Structure 1
Amino acid sequence: MAVQASAAILAVWKKFDEFPMETLTKAWHRGGQRTVAEMKEHRAKYGTSGNCFDLAIWLLDEFRAAGITAYGVGHDLGTSDAHVAVVAEDELGSRYLCDLGDLWLQPILLDPARPEFTGDKLKGFFPAAEVQVAVQGDRCEVCYFRPNGKVSRQEYDLTPISEHDLMVAAEACQHDYRQALVEFRVPHGAETAHWEFCDWESFLSTSEGLYPEEQLATIEAWCERIHLRTGLDKAVLQESLSFYQNSMK
Structure 2
Amino acid sequence: MNEAVSLPPDSLAELAAPDLQRLAARMAQDAFTRLFRLGLEGDDAALQSAVAGIERLSRNWVRAAEGEDARALRLALLVTGIDQWGLAWCQAFGLTAIPGISALLGALRNGLDVAEDARFQQKFAAIGQAECNAIDFKMELRRNIHLALWHAMIACDDRDEALALLAALGGMLTALAKQMPTLGWRLVADALAHIQLRCLSEGAASTELARETNAALFTALRQNLPREISEPMFAHANQAVVAWQRSRRTMH
Structure 2 length as normaliser, TM-score? 0.27
Q: Greater helix share, 1 or 2?
A: 2
Q: Considering only CA atoms, is the larger Rg found in Structure 1 or Structure 2? A: 2
Q: Greater strand share, 1 or 2?
A: 1
